[in-house]
């Protein structure tokens, strides 16, 4: 299995999900993630799984709720407008403490927007995603290999903490092909004694439910859930540091933006500018510690995003506003160029943090 194959990012997610033991996929086609649904439609019937094209995104996320209640690995995928439709279901999954994997291959917005790549659902993904106090674990792949690896990891984390893991990708990541190894690290699925699998007259009924009309009890559930979130913030943060050892300028970027940023960093380094990259792999929990630590040597942070500037707020919070944070961005389906990032690096170098 060490052999590498060329796959689209979307296909890598689908195959990795199958390898992780997912046998239930519900979805509704939307560019630029349709290859996930197409792949599942082809593969699931051959391996005794279930592919179902739902009548809408809302139906699909509620089917996810049903299968998750039964304790099985289940997923849905969509792109930005479709994810908004799933919002209600995401909140219900959180309220019922059900594990699931949801993929958002983002496109430009707001509204129906366009179909070209974007990262403008960052707020939606990391700050909750719908009504009520809740979080999703948000994983941001920056290569086709990570599309596969993080899908498996997402299922593991979802089961471990009984919550939704979201893969937050973008149109580029979904559409591009790169070599990928499918020799993936799949852990055994934990026991799920809470699942609604039938009592067999041996135990009390299990119930999955997000309705709780006694405020004292609902508060208690929220407190307990946030204790779990605190544990996740402590244990599950993932990030990559690139050329940060001696960096005086730090770029913050995830997904495709981090790939473009690396080109700019290599070029800036060739011109003698000490610049590096912190790439959050988990967007929630956000890698606060490495950013705060970087303020010791870094005089300027640059957030590179395919949005009007969303992650930049988390960078400012993480660095406690000790250093200026500037934004390099394109929006609406456009992607920042290495030259645009290089220009910002040169400006930061010239100003030396004096803003």
Partner 1 sequence: MTNKYLFAGFGGQGILFAGKLLAYKGLTDEKQVSWLPSYGPEMRGGTASCSVILSDSPVGSPIVSNPNILIAMNLPSLDKYEDTVEAGGMIFYDSSLIEREVKRDDVKVFPIPATKLAEENGTPTLANMIIVGKVLAETGDFTDESVMAALKKVISAKRADMLDVNLNAMKLGRDF
Q: Least distance (Å) from partner 1 to the CB of residue 322?
A: 29
The yes or no reply on residue 321 touching partner 1 (CB under 8 A) is: no
The yes or no reply on residue 31 touching partner 1 (CB under 8 A) is: yes
Is the alpha carbon torsion for 84, 86, 92, 95 positive or negative? negative
- Residue from the set 77, 116, 303, 329 that interacts with partner 1 by CB under 8 A: 116
The yes or no reply on residue 32 touching partner 1 (CB under 8 A) is: yes
φ/ψ of 88, rounded to 5, equals -55, -45
DSSP 107: B
Name the burial class of residue 82, with classes exposed (0-12), middle (13-18) and buried (19+) by CB atoms within 10 angstroms of its CB: buried
165-204 residues in contact with partner 1 (CB under 8 A) are 171-172, 175-179
- Residue from the set 86, 153, 259, 323 that interacts with partner 1 by CB under 8 A: 259
Is the alpha carbon torsion for 254, 260, 261, 266 positive or negative? positive
Whether 120 and 254 have beta carbons less than 8 Å apart is answered as no
Separation CA 200–CA 254 (nearest Å): 48
Q: Least distance (Å) from partner 1 to the CB of residue 11?
A: 12
Nearer to partner 1, 15 or 314 (CB): 15
The yes or no reply on residue 337 touching partner 1 (CB under 8 A) is: yes
Nearer to partner 1, 95 or 174 (CB): 174
Q: Classify the phi-psi angles of 140: left when phi > 0, otherwise alpha if psi is within -120 to 50, otherwise beta.
A: beta
Nearer to partner 1, 337 or 347 (CB): 337
75-94 residues in contact with partner 1 (CB under 8 A) are none
Task: Please name which of 228, 206, 210 lies closest in space to residue 160, comparing C-alpha atoms.
Answer: 228
Nearer to partner 1, 34 or 84 (CB): 34
Site stretch for partner 1 (CB under 8 A), options 78-86, 210-218, 253-261, 282-290: 253-261
DSSP 189: P
Site stretch for partner 1 (CB under 8 A), options 96-104, 318-326, 330-338, 346-354: 330-338
Q: Which helix (H) or strand (E) holds 301?
A: strand 300-305
Interface ranges with partner 1 (CB under 8 A) = 4, 6, 31-32, 115-116, 171-172, 175-179, 256, 259-260, 262-263, 266, 335, 337-338
């Amino acid at each position: 299995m060490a052999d590498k194959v060329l796959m689209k990012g979307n296909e890598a997610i689908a195959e990795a999900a199958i390898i992780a033991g997912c046998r239930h996929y519900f979805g509704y086609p939307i560019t630029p993630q349709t290859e996930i649904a197409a792949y599942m439609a082809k593969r699931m019937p051959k391996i005794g799984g279930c592919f179902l094209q739902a009548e809408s995104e809302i139906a699909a996320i509620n089917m996810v709720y049903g299968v998750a209640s039964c304790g099985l690995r289940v997923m849905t995928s969509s792109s930005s407008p479709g994810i908004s439709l799933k919002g209600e279901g995401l909140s219900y999954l959180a309220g019922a403490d059900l594990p699931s994997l949801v993929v958002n291959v983002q496109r430009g917005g707001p509204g129906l927007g366009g179909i070209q790549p974007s990262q403008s659902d960052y707020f939606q993904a990391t700050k909750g995603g719908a009504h009520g106090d809740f979080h999703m674990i948000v994983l941001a792949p920056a290569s086709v290999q990570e599309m596969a690896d993080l899908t498996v990891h997402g299922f593991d984390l979802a089961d471990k903490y009984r919550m939704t893991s979201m893969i937050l990708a973008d149109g580029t990541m979904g559409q591009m092909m790169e070599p990928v190894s499918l020799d993936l690290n799949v852990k055994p699925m934990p026991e799920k004694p809470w699942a609604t699998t039938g009592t067999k007259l041996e135990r009390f009924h299990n119930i999955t439910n997000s309705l709780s009309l006694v405020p004292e009890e609902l508060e208690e559930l929220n407190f307990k859930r946030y204790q779990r979130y605190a544990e996740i913030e402590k244990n599950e943060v993932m990030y990559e540091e690139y050329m940060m050892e001696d960096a005086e300028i730090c770029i913050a970027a995830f997904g495709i933006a981090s790939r473009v940023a690396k080109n700019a960093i290599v070029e800036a380094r060739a011109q003698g500018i000490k610049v590096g990259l912190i790439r959050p792999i988990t967007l929630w929990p956000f890698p606060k510690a490495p950013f705060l630590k970087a303020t010791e040597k870094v005089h300027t942070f640059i957030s590179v995003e395919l949005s009007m500037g969303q992650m930049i707020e988390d960078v400012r919070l993480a660095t406690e506003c000790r250093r200026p944070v500037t934004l390099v961005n394109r929006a609406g389906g456009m992607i920042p160029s290495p030259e645009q990032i290089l220009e910002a690096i040169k400006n930061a170098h010239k100003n030396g943090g004096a803003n």
